[in-house]
Amino acid sequence: MTNRSGYGTMAASRGNRKAIEVNKSDTIVIAGAGGFIAGALTRRFRDLGFTKVRAVDIKPIDRWYQTVDGVENLPECDLRLRENCYRVCRGAAEVYNLAADMGGMGFIENNKAACMISVLINTHLLMAAKDAGTVERYFYASSACAYNTQKQQDTDSTALKEEDAYPAMAEDGYGWEKLFSERMCRHFMEDYGLVTRVARFHNVYGPFGTWDGGREKAPAAICRKVIEARDTGVTEIEIWGDGHQTRSFMYIDDCLHGIDRIMHSDIREPLNLGSAELVSINDLVTLVEQIAGVKLNRTYDLDAPKGVRGRNSDNTKIKKLLGWEPSIPLREGLEKTYAWIRQQYLDRKAGKKTVS
C-alpha cells in the first residue's frame, strides 16, 4: 500500500506504534457529506489526490453546503435505512460517519426525538462496515454534548476531561444519541474487531457552514446578526441567554487535521477534539464587532435556548497521546468566517444562490 502522502502521516508521527498507510485508490466513504464538516473533509480528500471518495447525504445535491468535483456524490441517500448503509460501504477501506440530524442549540433543544433517531445511522453503518469485509477503520463524530451536564453548570467550570462523560447525564436528545453511539463503536471493536475511532467535537465553525435558518451555531449566528445590523442601520443585537455562558470554538481546519490524527492513531477511547480557548458569548460578540468595525447595544433573551452554562475542552490527553492540539486562534478563524458569511449575505440580497 502506498502512503497517503500527507494524510495520516502526521498522525502516525507521534503517539502511535506504526504509520497507517492507505492507498489513494482505496474507497473512502464520507457520511453526511452535504453538511459543513463532512463537506470540508470530502474536499480535503479530493485535494490530497484520493480517487475514490464516496460522498453521501440525505439532502438533494442542490442543498449540499458544498459539492466536490471528482468524487462519487450520492445525494438523497437516507442512511437511517440499513440497505443504504450496506450499499455505500461496499468495497470501502475507511468510513467516516459525520451524518446526523443536528444544528445549533435552538435546533437541538426543540428537536430531541429527531436527534435521537440519528442513532440508526451509526448502528446501520457499523453493521455494514463490519460485514463489508474491506473496512479497515471507522470514524465516528461524537460531540461535547455527550458530557455530564451536571459538570457544566458554572461559567468558570473546569475544562471537561474525557472521563467526565460518566456517570452519564448527557445533553437531552442529541447528547444521549452521541453517547450511545460511542458505546456502539466500542463494542463493535471489542466484539468484532472493527477498528473504530471516536472524536468528541467542540463547537466547530468556519466558512461553508450554516449561517441562517435556525440550525446555525453561535459564531455564525452572531456574524450574521452583526452583518445584518451594519447593513440595515440597526444599532442593537439580541443575544440568547445572559451572555455569560462560556464555550470554546474550533476552526474547521483544526477539526480536519484532528480527524486525520485520531483516525490514524491507536487510541481506542473517545478523545476531545476542540480548542481550549474559552470565551463567553459576550466576548464572542465583542470579537465580531471588532472585526466588523461596529459597536452595538445588546439585548438579552433569557428565555431563548442557551444550553449549559460553561463548556471547554481539556486537551491534556490529546497533547499527551498525539503531541498536538487545535491551536488556530478564535480571532483568526472568525475573520475568515465573517468574510465568508458577509459575502453570502450580499449574494442572497442580490438574488444569488447561497448556502443557508
Could you give the residue numbers annotated as active site?
Answer: 174
131, 193, 221, 243, 340 from 209: Cα distances, Å? 33, 35, 11, 23, 10
Question: Who's near 72: CB < 8 A, 6+ residues apart?
Answer: 52, 53, 54, 55
Helix 82-89 / helix 119-132 crossing angle, nearest 10 deg: 40
Cα–Cα distance, 86 to 238 (Å, whole number): 46
Q: Are 56 and 121 in contact (CB under 8 A)?
A: no
What is the residue whose three cell numbers read 441562517? 212
Cα–Cα distance, 123 to 109 (Å, whole number): 23
Beta strands (DSSP E) in the chain are 27-31, 52-56, 72-74, 92-97, 137-143, 196-201, 204-205, 236-240, 246-248, 250-251, 271-273, 278-280, 297-301
Q: How many residues does the chain have?
A: 356
Q: Are 317 and 269 in contact (CB under 8 A)?
A: no
Q: Are 266 and 327 in contact (CB under 8 A)?
A: no
